[in-house]
Chains A and B, each alone.
Chain A
């Protein structure tokens, strides 16, 4: 049996096809963006999974229509849902390798992004073949205040996103735009925000973000856990490099949500900071917290400094699904501190902060 071929984990990872999830209300510009992804000369081929061929006026055999099919898993956990149709379509697409480089999943306007994202963590077959790259939310600058008033979905889509594209900025005044951005920032301090007209954002800001990749997730995210410049928004011409600012913060936490007059703070974020953690306390605490509060936690991300550990430990999660791994050694010029952000609904911020701080080494 000399002809056995084994594969190293990194080779297997490299073969995983990246998946971008595109959310946004009807009229937010998803179809325009999809058309750009399908037609622009970016050197990559995308398979696109849509709910209806509808307005995509492009004949392309890599566009697959699929009925949104949400399946609850039979494990007693109410928030453990997957998109059954995606399991099937992704399996079918990935059998024919070499046809495309990446997948884009378009959700319906009213969709909850969680089942889509969870499919890429909970289904073993899907997880083997693909990896979730990022959740991108398009919002309509003019109509967002109204959307937030009459639905939870618009808020959930923003809360869930790694990238938020504020589209149709030409239809609002600069004051209105500032208010919209403050609202988005209040719901989700972790997302990168881009302004656009007619979905005209650089595709490199949308595709191949690595937002769920523990190796990349935090370093590539200029705003992650860093609220010194909460009003920093990238415009269409913004291609500067975002360095991670390392200001010396005191021991404190923020929670956002009160800042905006057009948003009732149903979803809010909680940023926690502390010194070094005891892994024997922190990891069981995180597990218990996500078990108990999982239905209310939309996203979480964090960098953990464990006592006597030379490496940074990073975590990211969706509802009850949490992943953690060592990332890289702490640099000599970095402050060894623990930072963790929860975005969720009805979070008991006082209890979370108290129990978090009790995990310190």
Chain B
């Protein structure tokens, strides 16, 4: 029976992450809390807008309303990686070789491990950014498509066009597919080898959370009353195939998904604060957390896949231990 160790915080949780086996909770007010032999915290920004985990360096990359990009390590040390002035850093990403990407208005930036920084200007806002799993390649989501940059070289960017506003972006773990979330209730994807389009539509709400399963065989998404899980095993991805629907509930929506690091299981967080785990093979569900005061907005599994850190819109956070 899963047990929940609650941590009641007082601000919207942007992200959770495990740094050296310690759960961290990054809140919108700019404070990152952690459970490390007791409740500790570090103020990182005055207003935190974006956060992502950098697994290679066990650090949390954050972007703030103060125009700063920082890296937080588990001892509470905050390193300022970039300062861009009085502008919002709305998206951050971690890449290979210690590179960090971030978006400010219509510009995307890459900061290399040696401190060098490159700027990539775009005619429209950079809505989302992501690094490819291998090599030095940055993708940005923008109005009417996506742009691929090669920050280590002076090569021309590759433009991928699809009408509409693209807001979030992710590479498949094998680097073969690029998928965006959109302002409309849909995902779009490109097979990078040949530029083939993939349309994944039919959601009743915007897709704001996505997560690749172990080995990238599936892509789980929010935006419906169930977790919508698209199969990516075939060479053309999910085209012509129906997605799995896991954890269907009649009276609320899925707001957050997080795939297990090794098993074909996804943690599903809902607008009412409930969390279920759903297994792809037989679609069995297990309750991980009962309803709470606000929508689940962040989840992260530890490296073993035994504990799940979660956070919510209301600040109610905690850790679920599925084995105890």
Contact = CB atoms under 8 A, between A and B. Distances in A.
Nearest to A89: B88
A124 B205 contact: yes
A66 B124 CA distance: 12
Nearest to A5: B293
Given A84-B125, A92-B88, A74 B184 contact: yes
Contacts of B124: 69
B88 A61 contact: no
B127 interface: yes
Contacts of B183: 71, 73, 82, 84, 87, 123
Interface in B1-59: 11-12, 14, 28-29, 46-47, 49
- Most B CB contacts (10 A, CB to CB) among A3, A69, A73 go to A69
Contacts of B184: 73-75
A161 B206 CA distance: 30
A61 B125 contact: no
A1 B184 CA distance: 34
Given A71-B165, A96-B28, A96-B47, A65 B125 contact: no
Given A1-B290, A73-B184, A74-B163, A92 B90 contact: yes
B291 interface: yes
Interface string B167-209: 0000000000000001110000000000000000000011000
Nearest to A87: B183
Interface residues of B, number: 33
Nearest to A124: B205
B164 interface: yes
Interface in A40-80: 53, 61, 64-67, 69, 71-75
B108 to A, nearest CB: 14
Contacts of A53: 86
Contact of A64 (B14, B29, B88): B88
Contacts of B46: 61
Given A69-B143, A74-B184, A61 B65 contact: yes
A124 B206 contact: yes
Contacts of B14: 95
Contact of A84 (B65, B88, B127): B127
Contacts of B105: 66-67
A126 to B, nearest CB: 11
A96 B127 contact: no
Contacts of A64: 65, 88
B118 interface: no
Interface string B258-276: 0000000000000010000
B112 to A, nearest CB: 26
- Most B CB contacts (10 A, CB to CB) among A4, A64, A95 go to A95
A125 interface: yes
A3 B46 CA distance: 33
Interface in A102-143: 123-125
Contacts of B306: none
Nearest to A84: B165
Nearest to B46: A61
Nearest to B91: A88
A85 interface: yes
B284 interface: no
Interface of A: 1, 3-5, 53, 61, 64-67, 69, 71-75, 82, 84-85, 87-89, 92, 95-97, 123-125
Interface of B: 11-12, 14, 28-29, 46-47, 49, 65, 86-88, 90, 105-106, 124-125, 127, 143, 163-165, 182-184, 205-206, 272, 290-293, 313
Q: Which 4 A-B pairs have the closest CB atoms?
A: A95-B28, A95-B12, A74-B164, A71-B165
30 contacts: A1-B291, A3-B290, A4-B272, A53-B86, A61-B46, A65-B86, A65-B87, A67-B125, A69-B124, A69-B143, A71-B164, A72-B164, A73-B183, A74-B163, A74-B182, A74-B184, A75-B184, A84-B183, A88-B127, A92-B28, A92-B47, A92-B49, A92-B65, A92-B90, A95-B11, A95-B12, A96-B28, A96-B29, A97-B12, A123-B183
Given A61-B46, A71-B165, 14 more contacts: A3-B291, A3-B292, A64-B65, A66-B105, A71-B164, A71-B183, A74-B163, A74-B184, A88-B127, A92-B90, A95-B313, A96-B29, A124-B205, A124-B206
